[in-house]
């Protein structure tokens, strides 16, 4: 049974986040947006929104730079195994393990209820909360508020909800 260990992936993402925040420190930011894809390719992208006022408009998707992507190819390998009939074990960020059923090409509605994008999004959000608690974003907020946001590239999961923008997600 293939496995995705989001505890290990969280360590990879945290290291990348620390590197990116160090690069961002000279900039005025309105947001740090984290995009990811676990459907067509496996990656995480950390984007600095340098606009004076952040808008959750998906702008990060057009500014992606391939050399800045954190590769997570094992997500796609696991997804392909599911299409080949295998059950996927996912170790979530809270340490619990869930088994995700195989995916059927003929029944695409299974994908709409797939727990994998949510589990990955929750891992990313958890790392952001931990980084905030550790003071990682403190130097960035000296010039003004910085939004935090997470969005799956194909729209399967996002945080925060629209009504929470600007309040529940500040760095």
The 8-class DSSP code of residue 11 comes to H
pLDDT tens figures, 142-160? 888 899 999 999 989 999 9
pLDDT tens figures, 33-69? 999 999 889 999 999 998 888 888 888 888 888 889 9
Q: What is the pTM of this model?
A: 0.91
CA distances from 165 to 29, 31, 54, 111, 149 (A): 15, 11, 9, 27, 9
């Amino acid at each position: 049974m293939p496995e995705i260990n989001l505890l290990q992936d969280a360590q990879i993402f945290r290291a990348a986040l620390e590197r990116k925040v160090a690069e961002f420190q000279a900039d005025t930011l309105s947001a740090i947006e984290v995009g990811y894809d676990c459907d067509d390719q496996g990656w995480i992208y950390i984007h600095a929104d340098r606009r004076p006022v952040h808008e959750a408009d998906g702008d990060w998707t057009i500014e992606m730079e391939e050399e800045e992507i954190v590769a997570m190819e094992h997500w796609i390998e696991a997804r392909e195994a599911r299409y080949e009939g295998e059950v996927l074990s996912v170790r979530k960020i809270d340490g619990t393990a869930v088994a995700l059923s195989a995916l059927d090409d003929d029944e695409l509605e299974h994908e709409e209820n797939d727990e994998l994008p949510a589990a990955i999004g929750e891992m990313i959000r958890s790392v952001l909360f931990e980084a905030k608690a550790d003071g990682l974003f403190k130097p960035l907020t000296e010039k003004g508020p910085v939004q935090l946001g997470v969005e799956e590239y194909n729209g399967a999961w996002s945080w925060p909800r629209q009504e929470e923008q600007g309040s529940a997600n500040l760095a």
